[in-house]
Amino acid sequence: MIMNEIIIYLSVVIIVVFWCYFKWNNRHFEKLAARMPGPPSYPIIGTGYKFIGSQERIISQIISLVNEYKLDPIKIWLGPYFGVVIDKPEDLKIVLNSSKALQKGRMYEFFKNYAGEGLFTAPVDKWRIHRRMINPAFNAKLLEQFFPVFNEKNQILIKNVMKESNKTQAFDLWQYIAPTALDTICQTTMGYNLDSQSNNKECEFGEAIVIGTDLDAMRIYKPWLYPEILFSMYLKLTGQQRIFETVKQFPLQLIKEKKYEFDQKKKSINKKDITDNDDENQSKRFLDILFELKHDGGKLSDSDIRDEVVTMMAGGFETSAITVCFCLLMIAIHQDIQDKVYNEIYDIFGESDQTITIDDTTKLVYLEQVIKETLRLYPTGPLLLREIQEDLKIFSSDYVLPKGTTCVIALLATHLSPDLYSNPWSFNPENFSPENVAKRHKYSFIPFSGGPRGCIGSKYAMLSMKAVVSTFLRHFSVHTDVKLTDIKLTLGLLMRSVHGYPVTIRPRDRRPTYKWNQNQQG
């Protein structure tokens, strides 16, 4: 009896001491939190109770917080970690461009299960080195050379989706757009013909990426899964540990095959010729550049190459596929907008079968507005995290964010602000007319993040999306019974439609519609 009392007494003392230590270490956070608006917080789980439930409920709760607190910085506790949600463009510019906020938030550690320490998750020192090395893979000359691949994969898409033509039953765009995006990123950046559009067994990798990123993202909202041992137990209990094994296996196979090709090429070609040939240097793909860096003594290990390959394929495939699906769904819902987009396409290509070039994309002005409006309303990554490395004052208030603060960049809130966009929940490509863009702060629209750690593939993404959407609409008109208000959102790492992207299609007769003012064509 006495022993039990001693154990209970010691347990209480340990808990009290730990709690006091925690409160003391977080006193500067507590001081700021006392001055800020935000939802109530509780020990251990923080504000996590707000995000218990399905992924659909999580995005609903985030939107509710946006509506409740408008564009004010608000406090939250991510388990034991203090966070400040910011969404004013002036504050976003400060945080995203500050050398004090280049570090990704602690939660990005969760994504190392599949991405290792690629550009997405790398600590600042490593990110600086890798970003500088990888930048040449996205030079203008190389982007232009991607277009034959864009056209090849998009023609396969058209051939595959043709069987849905004139059917009355809707199909989900994702089942065709996702393999196209995966094959395109694989071929353009790795020089590897995955051919998942024809060979469905290879789609296991793409499916594993989607599930794996969602599993890791789930931990952000469930503090009890923060410890690795508890998350590992969760994966075993749910039988999902194989997901991350699948994500790792395919890149290793790809790297092994392409490394052999690279080594054979090195043996057969004089190194001096390669070095002196500017055209060949500029035409090297992403993976070639990584191999070249390692071969020439660069600080790049085998695991570094694997991490960057997974990061590039995951980031380039899933984000583009989601945006293209949302874009075509928006065009199907808004037939007047579809007419404008098609008329612009017709003015460029007419009734010819010529394939799209990089010069053609510059003429697709209205289509670019449509894609940007899609990204405004449905940004694939609606939340970003940065960890403040030194005290940082934000613009919109007298708040100084203490070192160690997790800064939650709520770009979804910014994109839906009625102060920045009239009728923010409606789909209106005119939001991105030159006149309207000029009226807004540059950081009112940041679908690819911003500042030094902005998305390295943003230009690639816009070009590839213009290519696939314009090609699709040259062959088919798109229709749906879905209304804008029917769309329900779900949030893992990325934001998607709960019920997919259901449409029907009809063949085009390749003639313009001209149901709108032709003078708007310019």
Q: What are phi and psi of 425, to 5 degrees?
A: -90, -5
Those residues with Cβ within 8 angstroms of residue 200's Cβ, 6 or more apart along the chain or in another chain: none
- The list of the chain residues with pLDDT below 50 reads 201, 274-282, 516-522
Instruction: Compute the distance between CA of residue 150 and CA of residue 256 in angstroms, rounded to an integer.
Output: 25
Question: For residue 242, what pLDDT is reported?
Answer: 86
Question: For residue 521, what pLDDT is reported?
Answer: 44
Taking only the tens place, the pLDDT of each residue in 373-429 is 999 999 999 889 999 999 999 877 788 999 999 999 989 989 999 999 999 999 999
Q: What are phi and psi of 352, to 5 degrees?
A: -80, 170
Return the closest-CA partner of residue 444 out of 475, 480, 418.
418
Those residues with Cβ within 8 angstroms of residue 342's Cβ, 6 or more apart along the chain or in another chain: 473, 477, 508, 512, 513
Burial (CB count within 10 angstroms: exposed 0-12, middle 13-18, buried 19+), residue 507: exposed
Instruction: Compute the distance between CA of residue 51 and CA of residue 221 in angstroms, rounded to an integer.
Output: 6
Question: For residue 515, what pLDDT is reported?
Answer: 56
Instruction: Compute the distance between CA of residue 139 and CA of residue 172 in angstroms, rounded to an integer.
Output: 34
Return the closest-CA partner of residue 489 out of 425, 409, 431, 420.
425
Instruction: Compute the distance between CA of residue 31 and CA of residue 370 in angstroms, rounded to an integer.
Output: 45
Please give the helix or strand (H or E) that residue 467 lies within, else none: helix 458-475
Instruction: Compute the distance between CA of residue 404 and CA of residue 393 in angstroms, rounded to an integer.
Output: 13
Residue 170 contacts residue 333 (beta carbons within 8 Å): no
Question: For residue 158, what pLDDT is reported?
Answer: 96
Taking only the tens place, the pLDDT of each residue in 471-490 is 999 999 999 999 999 999 98
pTM to 2 decimal places: 0.89
Residue 120 contacts residue 311 (beta carbons within 8 Å): yes
Instruction: Compute the distance between CA of residue 336 and CA of residue 505 in angstroms, rounded to an integer.
Output: 16
Cβ burial 112-142 (10 Å sphere, 16+ → b, else e)? ebbbbbbbbbbeeebbeebeebbebbbeeeb
Cβ burial 49-73 (10 Å sphere, 16+ → b, else e)? ebbeeebeebbbbbbebbeebebeb
Q: Reduce the DSSP state of residue 432 to 3 states and report it.
A: helix
DSSP letter (8 states) at residue 512: -
Question: For residue 438, what pLDDT is reported?
Answer: 96
Question: For residue 518, what pLDDT is reported?
Answer: 45
